[in-house]
Structure 1
Amino acid sequence: MGEYLSAAVGFPTMLFSAALVVVLGFWLLVLSGVAERRAFDSDVDAEALRLGGVPVAVSASVFVVIGWALSLSGSVLVHRVDQPGAAASLLSVLLLFLAPFVSWHATRRLVRRLAKFFPEEPGPPRGDFADLT
């Protein structure tokens, strides 16, 4: 457990760990009703990011979680391989660039599958179904 904790607060995983804390805080605010999950959609051009119709908050959260998991597991592997200091540092820097790259492509694939759960047009109002008598 100590190995994973030191990897989570070490370089380069700390960058994703900080982002993960922000994502968890955001979703706690959404659950408590203080924020809305579509709060960032008007500020970001989702079409330019090719996110496939999923709210930006959802896709950013998926990106951070996948990137954190990749970075954490990569950091643990780098620490387990007994390399000299320069080689370990080089592998950590490589991981810093590789984790977001792989996370972006995995997020785009996953988000395309999630898009069917986020319709662009709202459904019919509930009032349409109320007058059934």
Structure 2
Amino acid sequence: MNVHTTEWTMISDISPESAYRTTGSGEAVWLLSWLPDRLLTREQALAGMELDEILSDPHGVHDRDVQSEATKRADAVGIDWEQAVILLSKRILARLRQHSGEDDAAAGEPVTTRRTFRSRRISMHPSGPPRVFG
């Protein structure tokens, strides 16, 4: 897996999806960019990021071992792997629509420093919490 984690974020080398730590009910909880309405533990968020990476690799489509790993991680997050495929596919389509109508560079921000999460822009800082704009 290519998930890079810090105390506040989880990002992938092969997927634009991410996870962010926040606080809920006074405790640290995690949110996945592709499953923003579900509060998760750190372990669940990591499983969700790994699930995204597994499903992002077209070579594993017909591999039973890969499907088994996807099922385990989906179970850890509390969803069916088929539901994850649908949610991630919708995110891909939304990004394609967004990029066809709006160029990030034209907005004055480098693509590498801009991520959209729950209708807010977040600048990622590996050494601390993400900065939220908007």
Band of TM-score, shorter chain: 0.3 to 0.5
- Rg larger for: 1
TM-score, normalising length: structure 2: 0.34
Give the number of the structure whose residues are more often helix, by fraction.
Answer: 1
TM-score, normalising length: structure 1: 0.34
